[in-house]
Homo-oligomer: A and B are copies of this chain.
Amino acid sequence: MAAFAAHTSATSSHYSPPGTAILLRSRRRAFATRVSCSAAAAAGNKTVVIGVAADSGCGKSTFMRRLTSVLGGGAEPPRGGNPESNTLVGDTATVVCLDDYHSLDRAARKARGLTALDPRANDFDLMYEQVRAIKDGRAVDKPVYNHVTGLLDPPERVAPPRILLLEGLHPMYDERVRGLLDFSIYLDISDEVKFAWKIQRDLAERGHSLESIKAIIEARKPDFDAYIDPQKQYADAVIEVLPTQLIPGDDDGKVPRVRLIMKEGVKHFAPVYLFDEGSTISWIPCGRKLSCSYPGIKFAYGFGAYFGHEVSVLEMDGRFDKLDELIYVETHLSNLSTKFYGEVAQQMLTHADLPGSNNGTGLFQTIVGLKIRELCEQIVAERDAMTADAVKV
């Protein structure tokens, strides 16, 4: 429960009482403009570690492309290495896929009747040691799980980056690994949407039958519920994808209702809000100034409790059809951590080809990217300030 404790302590020491929120936030922004994350390595700072948890087929790789794009510095497979490497390396961020910590290969899992979701098929001791080493500034030789062959390939070297993005099934499962995360995100896709997405992909592309898709999902469900889903209680931000409420009875997943659940009191993380922070709002931007096609766009904002934590929740139901809709919405959201007017829209346009670029999944993934960028810059600035103080003493 180390990470949990770390988060609750952050909650109590950094919670803004009513009235002081704006002051605290502007102070944070002052930090943000002083230093960029790319400058962190030169100053000898340690790696910022971000965990992103989700089931497979839930859009983690899309999310990673959006995150690395916002963070800057590119993200490519390591040059001259294993062509089946799951790692992406850039000037700012490195993405490590936690499937690489599978302790059992496909054949061994099959022989023992275990899924990849089962902790017994994963090596958390090694995961912890290596994440810790990277955070301490040391390169590691990380195993490589080959998704094509299902075998464990020879390890590859991972150097400490400015930001380490740990994406996979279990970034928050092990309490020691969890304790190393500076920020954590959980992608929570509802069963209805997961099913609709799988059908879209597997029926069309892989020739599966509807029955076999259902069977695959059902077979995974017990382990998913036991080992993956419970991690969301530790997440600082959760992106929930649900069926739309704009079209009665709609369940093809093409129009999603997406909720961004943001934990309050997390250091360096000021939740995004709509119009009036801390109140409850619903907003249909489509009207006199903005015309939208059917079924329109609906936003909601509010607050509540999520696994006992105080949270703010921003929700988008519907799809963007035109660029003006996206810009109009961006203009009315606050605390976005953008560096210039229209940065969210620009990011979404840059990745217009990625799934979710016209709805809340793309919007909220982009926003989370901006929040992580700011968080990283603030952590670096804070360390710089402490280093400067230490030098003075």
Q: Which residues of A contact B (CB under 8 A)?
A: 18-19, 275-290, 302-303, 332
Contacts and interface: CB of A to CB of B under 8 A. Distances in A.
Contact of A277 (B280, B282, B288): B288
A271 B155 CA distance: 67
Contacts of A275: 275-276, 281, 283, 332
B276 A283 contact: yes
A332 B18 CA distance: 17
Find the residue from A283, A285, A286 having the highest chain B CB count within 10 A: A283
A277 B289 contact: yes
A386 to B, nearest CB: 31
A280 B287 contact: yes
The 10 closest A-B pairs by CB, nearest first: A278-B288, A280-B284, A279-B287, A275-B275, A278-B289, A282-B282, A278-B287, A18-B289, A281-B283, A279-B285
A19 B328 CA distance: 12
Contacts of A290: 278-279
A288 B310 CA distance: 11
Contacts of A279: 283-290
Find the residue from A18, A281, A290 having the highest chain B CB count within 10 A: A281
Nearest to A296: B280
21 contacts: A18-B288, A18-B289, A275-B276, A275-B281, A276-B285, A276-B289, A277-B288, A278-B289, A278-B290, A279-B288, A279-B289, A279-B290, A280-B283, A280-B284, A280-B286, A280-B287, A281-B281, A282-B282, A287-B302, A287-B303, A288-B303
A278 B277 CA distance: 21
Contacts of A276: 275, 283, 285, 289, 332
A23 to B, nearest CB: 13
A43 B279 CA distance: 48
A279 B298 CA distance: 11
Contacts of A284: 279-281
Contacts of A280: 283-284, 286-287
B283 A19 contact: no
Contacts of A281: 275, 281-284
A287 B282 CA distance: 14
Given A18-B289, A276-B332, A288-B303, 10 more contacts: A275-B275, A276-B283, A277-B288, A278-B287, A278-B290, A279-B283, A279-B284, A279-B289, A281-B282, A282-B282
A195 to B, nearest CB: 32
A133 to B, nearest CB: 41
A280 B302 CA distance: 16
A16 to B, nearest CB: 10
A125 to B, nearest CB: 42
A280 B246 CA distance: 15
Nearest to A312: B288
Nearest to A291: B18
Nearest to A290: B279
Nearest to A279: B287
A212 B275 CA distance: 49
Contacts of A287: 278-280, 302-303
A278 B285 CA distance: 8
